[in-house]
């Protein structure tokens, strides 16, 4: 029995997990803890449900990230390469990243998240289109810098989602934190990673277009 269908199945699953990430953020956001007139019991129930939905989104993102590693590893192990997989794999990656960034932007409602998230999503949409053009198809090998960019994206997203999933919301709608100093350092670090990822995303896009223009890969 052959399992050469597994890599493509995992890639498709990553697209599904991206949808789950959005569902988790949407459901968590619908549980408004700032409504007036709610009883303490109702507030506690909403806070619990909200955290559960954040955990759902976080686990969906982690599962999608795991499939990103597994599908490539299995494709090499099983020698299962297909045009469909080559086409869908980068799209699935971008869908997962975009879903998480969109949910985080809606959650934190800050230009510190809006700007880098928009930069990354806009770059990914542009590159998806560009790779479909004859010129873009001339350079299909990702650079090491692009892999670092992806690593920064995953690290920043996990860093932003983890407190939502692990720290119980307070009844005023904010996320309870421990030490204020440590919390500030962690936030600055994680947001900084997101900005670095955004800068690298456009830097690598420029490299890709230059390579495509010269007819050589990255």
* All domains in the chain, ordered by first residue: 6-214 (1.20.120)
Q: What is the mean pLDDT of the chain?
A: 83
For residue 67, pLDDT over 80 is answered with yes
For 102-138, b/e burial (b = at least 16 CB within 10 A) is bbbbbbbeeeebeebbebbbebbeebeebbeeeebee
> What's the rounded Cα separation, in Å, for the pair 24 and 157?
15
Looking at residue 130, its pLDDT comes to 84
For residue 176, pLDDT over 50 is answered with no
Residue 117 main-chain phi, psi, to 5 deg: -65, -45
Looking at residue 217, its pLDDT comes to 39
**What Å distances lie between residue 107 and 3, 28, 110, 115, CA to CA?**
40, 9, 9, 14
For residue 141, pLDDT over 50 is answered with yes
Q: For residue 62, give every residue at least 6 positions away whose Cβ sits within 8 Å of its Cβ, in sequence order, or none.
A: 158
173 vs 10, higher pLDDT: 10
Looking at residue 27, its pLDDT comes to 94
Residue 29 main-chain phi, psi, to 5 deg: -70, -25
For residue 83, pLDDT over 80 is answered with no
Q: Give the model's confidence band at 121: pLDDT under 50 very low, under 70 low, under 90 confident, else very high.
A: very high
């Amino acid at each position: 029995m052959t399992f050469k269908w597994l890599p493509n199945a995992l890639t498709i699953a990553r697209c599904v997990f991206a949808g789950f990430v959005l569902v988790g953020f949407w459901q968590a956001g619908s549980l408004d803890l700032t409504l007036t007139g709610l009883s303490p019991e109702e507030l506690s129930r909403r806070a619990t449900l909200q955290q559960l939905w954040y955990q759902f989104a976080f686990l969906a993102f982690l599962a999608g990230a795991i499939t990103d590693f597994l599908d490539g590893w299995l494709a090499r192990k099983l020698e299962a390469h297909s045009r469909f997989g080559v086409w869908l794999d980068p799209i699935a990656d971008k869908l997962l990243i975009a879903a998480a960034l969109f949910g985080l932007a809606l959650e934190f409602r800050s230009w510190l998240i809006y700007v880098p998230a928009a930069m990354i999503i806009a770059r990914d949409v542009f590159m998806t289109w560009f790779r479909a053009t004859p010129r873009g198809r001339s350079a299909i090998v990702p650079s090491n810098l692009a892999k670092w960019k992806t690593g920064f994206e995953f690290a920043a997203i996990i860093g932003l989602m983890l407190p939502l999933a692990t720290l119980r919301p307070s009844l005023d709608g904010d996320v309870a934190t421990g030490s204020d100093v440590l919390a500030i350092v962690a936030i600055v670090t994680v947001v900084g990673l997101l900005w670095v990822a955004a800068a690298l995303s456009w830097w690598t896009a420029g490299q890709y277009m230059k390579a495509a223009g010269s007819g050589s890969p990255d």
